[in-house]
Amino acid sequence: MREMTVETLSYAQVAKMIDHSLLRPELTPAEVVAGCELAARYEVASVCVKPCDVELAAQVLKGSSVLVGTVVGFPHGSHATATKVFEARLAMEQGAAELDMVLNIGRLRGGEAGYVLEDIRAVVEAARAGGALVKVILENAYLSDEQKVLGSRITEEAGADFVKTSTGFAPGGATPEDLRLMRSSVSPRVQVKAAGGVRTLDALLEVMNLGVTRVGATATQAILEDFKARKAGTAQPAEKTGLQSGY
């Protein structure tokens, strides 16, 4: 596979990797509007907003190329399955086209693979009826490697579109080792999303070269301005910074 670099990529290829994250609990409606406007200006793939902000984001982004995404069972994954299905259906009614759901972490750690499978499958089936895609968050900070592999395989069996590393609200985020493990645990049909620690262009390029096709980011503007500057040859030399711990 050809290495992904600033020289080999277009702006659109990089921008459409990014889900601009607007999930911090303290964000006001005005800040959500500003974040959606930024996402539209930079033409990213989507915004990922809190469930209460889906209608607002859909209004702001109407007519743009940016999709509205939201979260289901967030951030702990411990909602009842029926509640997750309700959340998914309501979000789609209000304008969400992408759903980032948290699997049931405790049940996965407890070895209840069947429960986890049916929990994910129920949301996937609801999403299919509404035309949305599903990204399943494993929350790797709480899992062993064996559980990460199992969670990834269950995600594929349930019919979801993506497997995702993290919520951004746990002790750790995306790591190269986890991304390699997840990518190798699913077929090419299932895409991989990195979240937590992708705060620079170098980090985004690093995960792209590991097979990641979408990232959750709050530093969207800085990443894309850096890309434009490097592409134009006007960026100042700086130390490369890859994936970082914390948020």
Known catalytic residue: 50? Answer: no
Amino acid identity, position 33? V
Residue 140 is classified by DSSP as G
Whole-number average pLDDT of the chain: 95
d(CA 57, CA 217): 17
How high is the pLDDT of residue 2? 76
Amino acid identity, position 23? L
Quick: pLDDT tens for 45-76: 999 999 999 999 999 999 999 999 999 999 99
- Enter the pTM of the model: 0.94
Known catalytic residue: 228? Answer: no
CATH class in words for 11-232: alpha beta
Helices 29-42 + 54-61 axis angle, to 10: 40
pLDDT of 241 higher than 90 = no
d(CA 58, CA 52): 12
Quick: pLDDT tens for 195-218: 998 999 999 999 999 999 999 999
Q: Where do the DSSP E strands lie in the chain?
A: 18-22, 46-49, 67-72, 98-102, 133-137, 162-164, 191-195, 214-217
The pLDDT confidence band at residue 247, using thresholds 50, 70 and 90, is: very low
d(CA 135, CA 133): 7
Share of the chain above pLDDT 70, in %: 94
Q: CB of 51 within 8 A of CB of 220?
A: no
Known catalytic residue: 193? Answer: yes
**Catalytic-labelled residue, pool 84, 135, 148, 164:** 164
- With H, G, I as helix, E, B as strand and everything else as coil, classify residue 52: helix
Quick: pLDDT tens for 11-49: 999 999 999 999 999 999 999 999 999 999 999 999 999
**Catalytic-labelled residue, pool 100, 119, 178, 226:** 100
- With H, G, I as helix, E, B as strand and everything else as coil, classify residue 47: strand
How high is the pLDDT of residue 89? 98
**Catalytic-labelled residue, pool 53, 84, 193, 226:** 193
The pLDDT confidence band at residue 234, using thresholds 50, 70 and 90, is: confident
How high is the pLDDT of residue 246? 47
d(CA 208, CA 225): 18
Q: CB of 179 within 8 A of CB of 144?
A: no
- Across the range 87-92, mean pLDDT stands at 98
Q: CB of 162 within 8 A of CB of 185?
A: no
- Across the range 217-239, mean pLDDT stands at 88
Three-state SS string over 72-85 comes to: ECCCCCCCCHHHHH
The rounded radius of gyration (Å) of the Cα atoms in the chain is 17
pLDDT of 238 higher than 60 = no
pLDDT of 245 higher than 90 = no
Buried b (16+ CB within 10 A) or exposed e, 176-197: eebbeebbebbeeebbbbbbbb
Q: CB of 176 within 8 A of CB of 243?
A: yes
Question: With 0-12 CB in 10 A as exposed, 13-18 as middle and 19+ as buried, what is 169?
Answer: middle
d(CA 167, CA 196): 7
- Across the range 190-198, mean pLDDT stands at 95
How high is the pLDDT of residue 244? 65
Residue with tokens 């559980």: 147
